[in-house]
């Protein structure tokens, strides 16, 4: 059982015990004592005491004094996806390398009060920058920017905010690549399923798909473009696609989770994959690799995006006045499995 916390030892106490000034202790414990000409002997004595008394520097006090907390706010939706975890891993790893910063992770949420509170908390805790998903409410976005806290969007570029930094996966490019892949496998009637037609991300990806089709001498039929807001239920969209006389011979999904739902729906209506119809998704997760599923995907380098976002955040912290950093990542990995 936790024994009652004896009050943790402070630098002042160490100074007293060693018979030196607090400054000396501070310099020694921060390893900068040589530059201040403190004798090895004194240093050793201080280090010994610190060790013996199990000294742990109080980062709260240090933050207050230095006027910097070493905190980078991370604000992602729910954290419920493989994507989110992977991004966070990248951010954490990058900050870790830097040594001076750690992530303070908040979670976006449908409830506006929740989201507002999370932003308030990040601000009160004096995060030095924030990495967040463009799904953040614009009022919250403003609160961050107004405070002068550097902000980096991750995953997609933010809609209608041209002056913000971001690191995004190049939707147009990867949708085009996926479409080309399908065409190269002989598919000619390719449908596109995305989440929300009104979103910029949908449009970007749809455009990539359309351009690639055009390149290949095909064209995008309106009837083969579907948006599925409740992405776990692609059933209706699939059924309506296959109620048409000209059935698609391939389906390109915006999200792997939609593709999984599409596969279920296709199984139900008795279409064979990939013989009758190929299925492919933008984005990947371990599920897709399961032998029973074998979904062919274009995988997003999510960890890399996280790393870059962290890097940009650090850069903006160091020079807040610098121009926004906007990066479209075109890398992807085509994971060819059984559905194409």
Binding interface with its own copies (CB under 8 A) = 1-6, 8, 54, 56-61, 63-64, 69, 78-80, 84-85, 88-89, 92, 96, 102-107, 114, 117, 120-121, 123-126, 145-151, 163-164, 260, 263-264, 267-268, 287, 290-293, 316, 320-321, 323-324
Interface of this chain with DNA, residues 222 to 251, rule: CB under 7 A:
none
CB of 44 to DNA, least distance (A): 11
Q: Which does 3 bind (CB under 5 to 8 A by kind): its own copies, DNA, none?
A: its own copies
42 vs 126 by CB, closer to its own copies: 126
Binding partner of residue 69 among its own copies, DNA, none, CB under 5 to 8 Å per kind? its own copies
Q: Which stretch binds DNA (CB under 7 A): 55-63, 208-216, 259-267, 312-320?
A: 55-63
From the CB of 80, what's the least distance to its own copies, in Å? 6
Give the one entry of its own copies, DNA, none that residue 39 binds, where binding means its C-beta sits below a cut-off of 5 to 8 angstroms depending on kind: DNA
If the CB atoms of residues 100 and 267 are measured against DNA, the closer one turns out to be 100
Q: Which of 1, 4, 7, 113 binds DNA (CB under 7 A)?
A: 7
Q: Does 69 bind DNA (CB under 7 A)?
A: no
Closest CB to its own copies among residues 21, 56: 56
38 versus 183: smaller Cβ distance to DNA: 38
Asked whether position 135 contacts DNA by CB under 7 A, the answer is no
Secondary structure in 3-state letters for the chain: CCCCCCCCCCHHHHHHHHCCCHHHHHHHHCCCCHHHCCCHHHHHHHHHHHHHCCCCCCHHHHHHHHCCCCEEEEEEECCCCHHHHHHHHHHHHHHHHHCCCEEEEEEECCCHHHHHHHHHHHHHCCCCEEEECCCCCHHHHHHHHHCCCCEEEEECCCCCCCCCEEEEECHHHHHHHHHHHHHHCCCCCEEEEECCCCCHHHHHHHHHHHHHHHHCCCCCCHHHEEECCCCCCCHHHHHHHCCCCCCCCEEEECCHHHHHHHHHHHHHCCCCCCCCCEEEEECCCHHHHCCCCCCEEEECCHHHHHHHHHHHHHHHHHCCCCCCCEEEECCCEEECCCCC
């Amino acid at each position: 059982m936790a024994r009652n916390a004896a009050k943790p030892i402070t630098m002042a106490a160490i100074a007293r015990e060693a018979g030196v000034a607090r400054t000396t202790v501070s310099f020694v414990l921060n390893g900068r004592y040589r530059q201040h000409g403190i004798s090895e002997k004194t240093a050793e004595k201080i280090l010994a005491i610190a060790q013996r008394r199990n000294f742990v520097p109080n980062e709260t006090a240090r933050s207050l004094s230095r006027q910097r907390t070493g905190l980078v706010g991370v604000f992602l939706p729910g954290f419920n996806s493989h994507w989110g975890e992977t991004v966070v891993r990248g951010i954490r790893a990058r900050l870790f390398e830097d040594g001076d910063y750690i992530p303070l992770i908040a979670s976006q949420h449908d409830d506006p009060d929740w989201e507002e509170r999370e932003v308030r908390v990040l601000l009160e805790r004096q995060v030095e920058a924030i990495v967040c998903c463009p799904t953040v409410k614009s009022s919250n976005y403003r609160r961050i920017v107004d405070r002068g806290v550097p902000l980096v969007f991750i995953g997609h570029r933010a809609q209608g905010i041209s002056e913000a930094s971001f690191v995004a996966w190049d939707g147009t490019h990867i949708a085009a690549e996926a479409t080309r892949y399908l065409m190269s496998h002989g598919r000619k009637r390719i449908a596109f399923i995305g989440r929300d037609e009104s979103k910029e991300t949908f449009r970007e990806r749809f455009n990539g798909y359309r351009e690639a089709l055009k390149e290949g001498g095909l064209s995008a039929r309106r009837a083969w473009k579907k948006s599925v807001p409740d992405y776990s239920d692609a059933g209706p969209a699939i059924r309506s696609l296959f109620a048409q006389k000209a059935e698609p011979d391939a389906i390109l999904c915006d999200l792997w989770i939609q593709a999984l739902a599409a596969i279920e729906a296709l199984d139900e209506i008795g279409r064979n994959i990939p013989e009758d119809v190929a299925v492919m998704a933008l984005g990947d997760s371990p599920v897709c690799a399961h032998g029973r599923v074998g979904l062919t995907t274009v995988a997003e380098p999510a960890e890399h995006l996280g790393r870059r976002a962290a890097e940009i955040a650090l850069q903006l912290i160091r020079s807040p006045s610098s121009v926004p950093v906007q990066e479209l990542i075109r890398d992807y990995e085509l994971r060819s499995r059984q559905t194409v």
